[in-house]
């Protein structure tokens, strides 16, 4: 039986990855320090013999007994509200944590996939973003703690690949949504849903003309699984290229929930104005593209938030 270590296992994406690898018949070792993760996201897996959980900070030495076939490094704060609160931990998990896990992968002769992000492109001057674009990032701005942690993560991962011939994979994740998102994580979708459902003013920054492209979590997980099992070692964008302005997205949420008004706030510093993945590479090397429409994914996510909020 294949054994896989998933860091950030109690988080939004990590928990869905645990589900997928259990479904694939593997033994899953989940690891999380629970700074931003929630044990409730994986408690349904605890009765399974093929699942184990380690409460641990990967920025410290990581030990896993026995053989390992795969490592997926998804431990990191992922929303601005989190990484602005804990900037040092965010930098450490992207640097020290990645170094520790690359070392573990080398010791175990395991293939490792690291979770990078569309934020490596910063506030892009190229649209849509392709993997060969180097980005437009402010390293000392408020978002730099996350952006540069992920850029370093990519650099050290490629160094291990070229110097140690380690089997590595890099996924650049674009905006993703679905059940198990934290209501208070500060990102647009959970914020809009919770504000509308609680009949509060929906907060739109600037004029709401900045764009995002939202990918449903099941599609993203499938893309990640395909990348892990592929032979492709360079970074790959995984996301949904269906672009929408934040204002139009807020209006969709108001229409779905049936209540809510929109209010405007000043645009945060270094907030990206456009975010849309070019997924030509994923189509070519992974035979992957998203299947779940925003209408379908939003409906599923709304049902989840109803259970959490109402």
Are 117 and 170 a contacting pair, CB within 8 Å? no
Query: And the tokens for 116?
Result: 């990078």
- Cα atoms found within 13 Å of the Cα of residue 275, Cβ hemisphere only: 28
d(CA 291, CA 219): 7
C-alpha torsion sign, points 184, 190, 196, 202? positive
Q: Which of 219, 251, 252 is nearest to 238 (CA)?
A: 219
The total number of residues written for the chain in this structure: 310
**Mind listing the pLDDT tens digit of every residue in the chain (310 residues)?**
999 999 999 999 999 999 999 999 999 999 999 999 999 999 999 999 999 999 999 999 999 999 999 999 999 999 888 999 999 999 999 999 999 999 999 999 999 999 999 999 998 999 999 999 999 999 999 899 999 999 999 999 999 999 999 999 999 999 999 999 998 888 889 999 999 999 999 999 999 999 999 999 999 999 999 999 999 999 999 999 999 999 999 999 999 999 988 999 998 877 778 889 999 999 999 999 999 999 999 999 999 999 998 7
d(CA 60, CA 62): 6
- Per the annotation, the verdict on 264 as an active-site residue is no
In the set 146, 160, 177, 216, the catalytic residue is 146
């Amino acid at each position: 039986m294949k054994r896989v270590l998933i860091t950030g296992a109690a988080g939004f994406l990590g928990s869905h990855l645990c589900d997928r690898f259990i479904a694939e018949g593997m033994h899953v070792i989940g690891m999380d320090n629970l700074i931003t993760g929630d044990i409730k996201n994986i408690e349904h897996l605890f009765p399974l013999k093929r699942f184990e959980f380690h409460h641990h900070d990967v920025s410290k030495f990581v030990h896993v007994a026995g053989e390992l076939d795969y490592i997926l490094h998804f431990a990191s704060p992922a929303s601005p509200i989190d990484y602005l609160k804990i900037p040092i931990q965010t930098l450490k998990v992207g640097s020290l944590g990645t170094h520790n896990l690359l070392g573990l992968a080398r010791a175990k002769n395991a293939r490792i996939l690291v979770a990078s992000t569309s934020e490596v492109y910063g506030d892009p001057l190229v649209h849509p973003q392709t993997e060969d674009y180097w980005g437009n990032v402010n390293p000392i701005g408020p978002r730099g703690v996350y952006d540069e942690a992920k850029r370093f993560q990519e650099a050290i991962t490629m160094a291990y690949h070229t110097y140690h011939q380690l089997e590595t994979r890099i996924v650049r994740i674009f905006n993703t949504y679905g059940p198990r998102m934290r209501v208070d994580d500060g990102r647009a979708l959970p914020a809009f849903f919770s504000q509308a459902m609680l009949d509060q003013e929906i907060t739109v920054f600037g004029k709401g003309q900045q764009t995002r492209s939202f990918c449903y979590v099941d599609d993203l997980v499938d893309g990640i699984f395909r990348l892990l099992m592929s032979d492709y070692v360079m970074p790959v964008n995984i996301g949904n290229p269906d672009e929408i302005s934040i204002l139009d997205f807020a209006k969709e949420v108001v229409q779905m929930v049936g209540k809510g008004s929109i209010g405007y706030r000043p645009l945060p510093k270094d907030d990206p104005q456009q975010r849309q993945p070019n997924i030509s590479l994923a189509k070519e090397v992974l035979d992957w593209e998203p299947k779940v429409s925003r209408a379908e994914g939003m409906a599923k996510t709304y049902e989840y938030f109803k259970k959490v909020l109402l």
